[in-house]
Amino acid sequence: MTDRSPSSSRKRPIRVSGMLAQSASYMIPDQIRKKFAADGGWASHIPLTFLTDKFCAQKSGTSTETLNESLSIDTSTGKIVTASRTLSITGEMDLTFDEWYQAWRRLLDLVQQYLSDEYECWNHHFCRIRDAESRSEHWPLWIAYDTEVRRRAVYTNIDPKEYHIGLWNELEVRYNQSRVKEAMNLDLRRHVITHIITTTPRAALKTALFEHLNPKDVYSVVAPTTPLDNATLQNLSTEIHATFRKENHLVIRRGATNTENFTVGHGTETAAVQTKIRTTVDLDNISARFADRPRTTLNHANSEFLLIVTPFVANAWEEALHHTNLFYKFSDVPFGICNGFDMGIKTTPSSTYTPPNHTSALKQPQAVLSHIQKELSLSRYTGPFSRSKLESLIGSFRTSPLGVVPKAGTSDEFRLVQDFSFPRNNPDQRSVNSEIDMDEFRCDWGTFDEIVSIVRNAPPLSEAATLDVDSAFRRIPIHPSQQSSFVIGWQNLYYIDHAAPFGAASSGGVFGRTADALMAIFHSKEIIARNWVDDFVFFRCPTNKKPSIPLPKSFFLYYTLDTIYAITTPLGWPWKHSKTRPFSEIFKYLGFLWNLKHKTVQIPDDKKTQYLVKLTPWVEGQKFTLRETESIFGTLVHCSLAVPEGCSRLPALSRFVSSFLRSESPFSRRTPNKSVLTDITWWRKCLEQKFCGSSLAAPPIQSPLEFWVDASTDWGIGVVFDGEWNSWKLKKNWKSNGRNIGWAEFVAIEIGLLHAIHLGHSNTHFLIRSDNQGVIQAIKGGKSRSPEQNNVLQRITSLLATHSLWISSLYVPSADNISDGPSRGIPLDNLPRSNLVFTLPPTLETFIESSSFIQ
């Protein structure tokens, strides 16, 4: 925190002659300003909820009482003292981007006024989040990252300007784990109750309602005040249906299939493409959700243009879910198949908005037209229409800019992308993605660690098969009320898109919900399977011989691909058979090659070649853009999953990424430093190896040998191993160039491992006890922010790999650390000193005496 000049802590700013008020904007609450102006400055976490327009607009009332100081009596003096209240963090994680932006502008003003020397780093942190490409799609994760950085910066000396990759990774894991579908909303509960009432025998109706639904759910819909006897049940059914009718839900009408001719524009030429308008809805007057949202009134004669197009068979899904007792958990899936899925669009366009397409699309018109032709032939697009014609059919609509990107591994094939995050930071026109609340679209994705666990614990002869879904997102029908927000615009012609598009923030979650239902069906049949978006992997063990370790019963289930197809075909689930890989001990998944027999994971040869080509330009004297740097960083982060020792080869590159200012030109280039190039060289050598991966075999049982380490800045290193202690003294020149107590604590672990290795230990799993939390976390994460600490961590990783050692770490308080005495030059009376003497490596001899004796 900066020292403030006397003028900066004045109760009033210095009067400036001729200064005019900039606007009538809401003022920062005095109580918040006092927290910055007080001695110590920004000394406690200030939730952004107290800096939003809404809060700052409140002049009085209970809302501002939460900022007031509390009064208490000092028992030692008997005087009344004041203390700042701890501000409630309630609601901070629920802020929208607009609210967050409002609050941050005020926070930056406070920082600039009271902590001017920190303004640059905080503004850099703010700009990183504001300009992040994934901000709209993963807003909850970004605001969690922002909140945690601000919270930690109050109590530690972290630099907000840096990209804290370790913190981000921790939050990302929590974020992904939390993306589980929330309880059914009120509209869906109404649908479920209606279904129960119309399909359950009256004698069992009460039991069915209260067995599968919380009684509060029933009462929240119809609020009955009497027991559910027959008369009440009749009233209940009538009232529910009346509720649906009153809400004026959009009705998808059943009718004969119509065929019309549409054309796809080719500039001055047009090619006729014949397609059918069809709907998979096979029920009369099916009520759809979302009626409480404002929308353009549709002419029922033209609502046939807002179609439900999907290969999924709703009745089959409902039957399968009922058969596996999963319907009441996933009843929204067949409901969405019939009616279209809610994509999270909370408004309908009040006026038509058609921004220009991106340059990449304009340069590849044939690629765009080819895509449109394909989608028309599959009936997922309807059109083309002129702007006025489409407005007359569905009311106001909006498009998002089109772009094209090369398909992976090709230079002349392109994939259409839609920029649903456009426009960015425009208060007058929100993007499609900015309307979508990702908390409403949570789902389960199988993670890398889950596959590691399955492979590690799989019994002998286990096999895996992989299957991909064909055009996964495009199988999800959009609710008709929201299709006006997903119109395609090209060369002044417009097409209605009926299926979830790539690029919409909610598409993955909506498909993921459907995939969750399918996975639940598999699991109910004792089939072990995982999926990452549209990539599925299935495990089996074709033997009845049980291994020596207990495993889930399902691992002994033998089944074939036909078993999978028998489950999915009736549902209309579209596997892409050209990508199906049959059961085998070796399988590719998540971009890695897994071996169930040998318990390994590695980077496939084709990927190694691809990554080596990508690394080729990274040599001394070359400069790179932010985009190029982020791309190579992302690639190596991915590689580090299979090569965990590579985690310590990422921080230098991460710092290089953070060195770019988000406000500078995307074409500006920077030169990587020596540390970055050294780590790139390490990765290059790693990728050139025949086997670039790691063993997944479970480590040995933890050794009972006690292993304690500690370091002190005023003396040196202490180690207690297997009932003996030893110590090494730090030289006078050790504390420089980033070497500090954290570095010394890392060195204590390195020396302790060298001690164990010289005693002949290998193929051993040690539990190392340390009183440094930072070291514990860095060991677990495989990397450290500090370059010097990271160098030690790299040497530790090399020792572990070379000598087949494993380590786990455990934090102990300093008072309980028995190696504390030796680290301070104090011998232990109750343990003997080790008589082992060995020469330290040159990297340590410069800073540590090889043989230290306590005077």
Q: Measured at the alpha carbon of residue 809, what is the angle toward residues 807 and 813, in degrees to the nearest 5?
A: 155
Q: What is the mean pLDDT of the chain?
A: 80
What residues pair up with 465 in beta bridges, in sequence order? 538
The two tokens of residue 368 are 């765009």
Task: Return the pLDDT at 299.
Answer: 33
Q: Measured at the alpha carbon of residue 509, what is the angle toward residues 504 and 514, in degrees to the nearest 5?
A: 125
- What pLDDT, in 10s, does the model give residues 21-65? 444 467 888 888 888 887 668 888 888 988 888 888 874 333 444
Most confident of 249-263, 267-281, 449-463: 449-463
The two tokens of residue 697 are 């075999």
Mean pLDDT over 269-276 rounds to 30
The two tokens of residue 285 are 């007057």
Tokens 């011998």 appear where? 827
Pairing of strands 805-811, 764-770: parallel
The two tokens of residue 304 are 């046939």
* 112-121, 301-310, 333-342, 552-561: least confidently modelled range: 552-561
**Could you tell me the pLDDT band of residue 19, with boundaries at 50, 70 and 90?**
low
Reduced to 3 states (helix: H, G, I; strand: E, B; else coil), residue 835 is coil
DSSP state of 182: P
- What pLDDT, in 10s, does the model give residues 618-658? 999 999 999 999 999 999 999 999 999 999 999 999 999 98
Spell out the residues 6+ positions from residue 594 whose beta carbon is closer than 8 angstroms to its own.
Answer: 451, 455, 464, 586, 587, 588, 600, 601
Task: Return the pLDDT at 33.
Answer: 86
d(CA 697, CA 453): 10
Reduced to 3 states (helix: H, G, I; strand: E, B; else coil), residue 468 is strand
- How crowded is residue 792: how many other Cβ atoms within 10 Å of its Cβ? 26
Task: Return the pLDDT at 88.
Answer: 64
Counting Cα atoms < 13 Å in the Cβ hemisphere of 274 gives 2
Percent of the chain that is helix, strand, coil (3-state, to 5): 45, 15, 40
Task: Return the pLDDT at 753.
Answer: 96
- What pLDDT, in 10s, does the model give residues 511-527? 999 999 999 999 999 89
Task: Return the pLDDT at 552.
Answer: 53
Evaluated on CA atoms 215, 221, 226, 229, the torsion sign reads: negative
Check whether 485 has a pLDDT greater than 90. yes
Whether the Cβ atoms of residue 496 and residue 394 lie closer than 8 Å to each other: yes
Check whether 547 has a pLDDT greater than 60. no
d(CA 826, CA 822): 5
- What pLDDT, in 10s, does the model give residues 708-763? 999 999 899 999 999 999 999 999 889 988 899 999 999 999 999 999 999 999 99
- Domains identified in the chain and CATH numbers: 30-163 (no CATH), 314-458+470-511 (3.10.10.10), 602-695 (no CATH), 707-853 (3.30.420.10)
Tokens 């406000």 appear where? 663
DSSP state of 548: S
- What pLDDT, in 10s, does the model give residues 332-378? 999 999 999 999 998 889 899 999 999 999 999 999 999 999 999 99
Closest residue by Cα to residue 335 from 459, 192, 145, 205: 192
Whether the Cβ atoms of residue 462 and residue 539 lie closer than 8 Å to each other: yes
d(CA 145, CA 669): 27
Closest residue by Cα to residue 38 from 50, 48, 46: 46
Check whether 330 has a pLDDT greater than 90. yes
Report in angstroms the alpha-carbon separations of 577 from 182, 246, 372, 467, 570.
Answer: 33, 46, 24, 7, 16
Q: Measured at the alpha carbon of residue 565, what is the angle toward residues 563 and 569, in degrees to the nearest 5?
A: 140
Task: Return the pLDDT at 155.
Answer: 75
Check whether 220 has a pLDDT greater than 70. no
Whether the Cβ atoms of residue 278 and residue 257 lie closer than 8 Å to each other: yes
> pTM for this one?
0.62
Spell out the residues 6+ positions from residue 803 whose beta carbon is closer than 8 angstroms to its own.
Answer: 757, 761, 762
